[in-house]
Structure 1
Amino acid sequence: MTGSVLLTGGIVVTCAGSDEVLWPADVLIDNGVITAIGRDLPAGDAQRVDVSGRIVMPGLVDTHRHTWQAVVRNIASDWTLDQYLVGLHIGLSRYFRPEDTYAGTLIGALEALDAGVTTLLDWSHNLFTPDHADAAVDALTDAGLRAVFAHGGGAQQWGGEMPSPVPHPEADVRRLRAGRFADNTGLVTMGLALRGPQFSTLEVTKGDFQLARELDLRISVHVGDGHWGKIKPIHQMNGEGLLSDQVTYVHCNTLADDELRLIADTGGTASIAPDVEMQMGHGWPATGRLLDLGVRPSLSVDVCSSIGGDMFTTMRTALAVQRATDNSAAVAAGEAPERVRLSCADVLRFATIEGARANGLDAVTGSLEVGKAADIVILAGDTLATMPMNNPVASIVYAAHPGMVRDVLVAGRFVKRDGKLVGVDLDRLRGLAEASRDHVISSLDGAEIGGGWQPDPKLLLA
């Protein structure tokens, strides 16, 4: 818990309404919770922090990131999806020791915090042993952010035959749910990252989903990833009664419209990763198609072994691609678009409150409202990219970047202050990262750094 803090004079973007901005305004925090938002709030004995001219916004929420891969960041930047499956899951993943999982998860989580991501669903699918799982949870805890540890199995489930007949590691899930995650009250809570019928047999999928229901754990599942999504995975799951409002469907690119409608009708949420989806061949991001059917998506970085880890870029990609898609339809019809369909405020909400909703945390975080946790990001407002300040929401979406993130609070505690993460030894982290990378890369014949390694996608069929 923390004491009282009063942020004074900021440009407060709440994300509680579609484009609510209070300018200037104060935010009062008491014991980690927002207790008042308004002008000229009495400070009492609170610590006063002058944020005049700066943007005060909810922390960003990522709904799907394979954080363990941070020690091999950018190794997959020129790979397709099948090359990624070969290089990471058939290849490198089996050589990760628990200490490598810890290093990757810690570095990746701190990268997220540094870029203003206060809540992260860690889609942790390299848990070869219970020690790997404990190492991942330890890293999320040590990083100090709000996280959902989504248990995703390990090389046994991902590195062999697809669709895999190997079930999710049930004993490890039960161990964690009965122990470290016996309740849902900590900064780090638990979910399940399941393969679904694209990557596991339908019988295995049914058993995995039943485990989640029995243990009352939310599910995140990949669907509609390029050619893997052509098997009608939503129809298969619907036929077995597996769809529900406790499921977040990741990607959705190649799902048919009637499958997206089933997601909407059963209360499901969606997570899109436009940067990775377009790079790796998943298909066009499903943003507009989801919106057409009443599903407001959340955003994710996804594969941090491929792209950068900040969500400002992801917001811009999501917005640009959907606007281009909408505009091209008008141009093809010989018409001039009268106005844009998707606004900056829409995309900012995808990255905040919709992300919190997809993570099952919208009552806790995702917007600046009285009674919610003080998960707050403060952006510099006096940069050459933002002066003069004319449209704070658009400045976040179109101009902001990690270097503008001056302060970050999680549950009212400063984890980044004046542009630097609090209590983080970068030299130590660099040593962890390089030692882990060197071990993993040297363990696989043919793997190398420098950008020249191109895994053979035909090995998926071997």
Structure 2
Amino acid sequence: MRTLLTGGTVVSLDPSVGDLKRADVLLEAGVIVAVAERIDAPDAAVIDATDRIVMPGFVDTHRHTWQTALRGAGADWTFAEYLAAIHGRLRPCYRPEDVYLGNLLGRLEALHSGVTTMLDWFHCAQSPEHADAAVAALRDVPGRSIFCYGAGWGTTDPIGAEVRRVRSGLSGDGLVTMALGLRGPELTTMDTVAEELRLAAELRLRTSVHIESGGTRRPIAELRAHGLLRDTTTFVHANRIGDDELRMLADAGASVSISPDVELKMGMGWPETGRMLAAGLRPTLSVDDCPSNGGDMFATMRTAYAVQRGLDGGLRSRDLLEFATVDGARACGLAARTGSITPGKDADIILLRADDLTVFPVNHPAGTIVTAGHPGLVDTVIVAGRVVKRDGVLVDVDLPALRSRLVASRDRIAAAAGVALDGA
């Protein structure tokens, strides 16, 4: 199959390709093969990208997708209240089918909003069946997904056997791959951290870990002192860790993921975007959880941008696009495959409506996407060359039936947990 995207405004996020006011993009066998002002490909299927911005799909580096049915319930929660409600009361009531529906609808929502690659940070692994349900949901959505297996919050049980079991079913390089979510130095011992890193190395898995010092600990310095910093680990949040600790992460080649909406609303501290850049790190962006905030990367970019501009005025809008695409792909170990419109990379591309009245006229494409973009602009989504959303509608998805199933799941979970989800 050859597909030609014609006449769009290309924001490639690849310096060698650049931005093109009017260009064509040729796809073949799921791969980008050419980007130019005009391409002659008479045998290709044509997608008219006139009045569209053509850009790489977004990369979300950290999302607890299983919580989708609880959307909005945590709008006013602090982090302590979130832990008490989600992990203390609601999570124990989740059945495998609830996990499946949360992951399915959550991943579909992300795809609908232009997130072609997403790391699903899963910490509802109460049984092998729960983990299998999460993976099955990701496989049932035609997006590029990384199943990041994490032990249940607060657990201390060994996880090696279960991680190996899950890995045995995710050993290829298809659209659904695997990572390991570490419990980290703030939830377990250094011996356990070392054991889990050895397990990840054995199984050739990248790792991700939540870090938030509260200004009272030095978790990165502790990890370095034990020889446990890796260039394959993404550190999530990292609020209020020391400047020297950020430099330790940069020196180790590690990556970072910030969730600006959640960090601000839950009292974790300012998103550390500017301090990370000053230390030599390229931040990546993540939604984190939908009970507390929206699930799209447009809002995430805008919050990170506005906050850091307010603090020091140093960011440019293109920085945010890079965080949300090519930098995110690099943190996921997928820089060679996705994150930019580059010949040779997989065709993970979104088309945004440039004629929508909320953004028209588009004078500065990168600035418009970051400051005024929203999911309603996402007209077309392509993953590995396959069109999965066209003319604003997901392809071959029975949303009414799925909505009914998710609502029934939500009602059962809330009743079993005795938790009101309406803020009352």
TM-score range, shorter chain: over 0.9
The question of 1:244 aligning with 2:230 is answered yes
Residue 58 of structure 1: aligned partner: 56
The question of 1:181 aligning with 2:157 is answered no
How is 1:54-453 mapped onto 2 (pairs within 5 angstroms)? 54-154=52-152, 158-159=153-154, 166-178=156-168, 180-183=169-172, 185-224=173-212, 227=214, 230-326=216-312, 340-445=313-418, 447-452=419-424
Distance 1:262 1:238 in 2: 8
Number of residue pairs matched by the alignment: 424
Q: Is the 8 A contact 2:54 2:352 kept in 1?
A: yes
Q: Is the 8 A contact 1:67 1:108 kept in 2?
A: yes
Q: Is the 8 A contact 2:17 2:35 kept in 1?
A: no
AA matched with 2:409: S
Which secondary structure state, in structure 2, belongs to the residue aligned with residue 230 of structure 1? coil
Distance 1:64 1:18 in 2: 29
Deviates further, 259-268 or 167-176: 167-176
Distance 1:168 1:414 in 2: 41
Distance 1:355 1:381 in 2: 24
Q: What's the offset of the Cα at 1:181? A: 1.5
Distance 1:167 1:251 in 2: 25
Q: What's the offset of the Cα at 1:19? A: 9.8
Residue 25 of structure 2: aligned partner: 27
Which secondary structure state, in structure 1, belongs to the residue aligned with residue 309 of structure 2? helix
Distance 1:43 1:373 in 2: 19
Distance 1:283 1:17 in 2: 34
Distance 2:157 2:310 in 1: 41
AA matched with 1:204: T
Q: What's the offset of the Cα at 1:168? A: 4.7
Q: What's the offset of the Cα at 1:258? A: 1.2
RMSD in angstroms over aligned alpha carbons? 1.3
Q: Is the 8 A contact 1:380 1:406 kept in 2?
A: yes
Change in 2 beyond 3 A, CA 1:353/1:347? same
Deviates further, 10-19 or 277-286: 10-19
Q: What's the offset of the Cα at 1:21? A: 1.1
Q: After superposition, give the CA deviation of every residue in 1:189-213 in whole Å (9 maximum; x if it has no partner).
A: 0001112011222222222222112
Change in 2 beyond 3 A, CA 1:191/1:380? same
Runs of 4+ residues deviating >6 angstroms: none
Where does structure 1 lack aligned partners over 5 or more consecutive residues? 327-339, 453-462
Which secondary structure state, in structure 2, belongs to the residue aligned with residue 70 of structure 1? helix
Q: What's the offset of the Cα at 1:288? A: 0.4
Deviates further, 191-200 or 168-177: 168-177
Which secondary structure state, in structure 2, belongs to the residue aligned with residue 210 of structure 1? helix
Q: Is the 8 A contact 2:60 2:115 kept in 1?
A: yes
Q: What's the offset of the Cα at 1:231? A: 2.1
Distance 1:67 1:245 in 2: 25
Q: Is the 8 A contact 2:17 2:342 kept in 1?
A: no
Identity of aligned residues (%): 52
Distance 1:133 1:13 in 2: 37
Where does structure 2 lack aligned partners over 5 or more consecutive residues? none
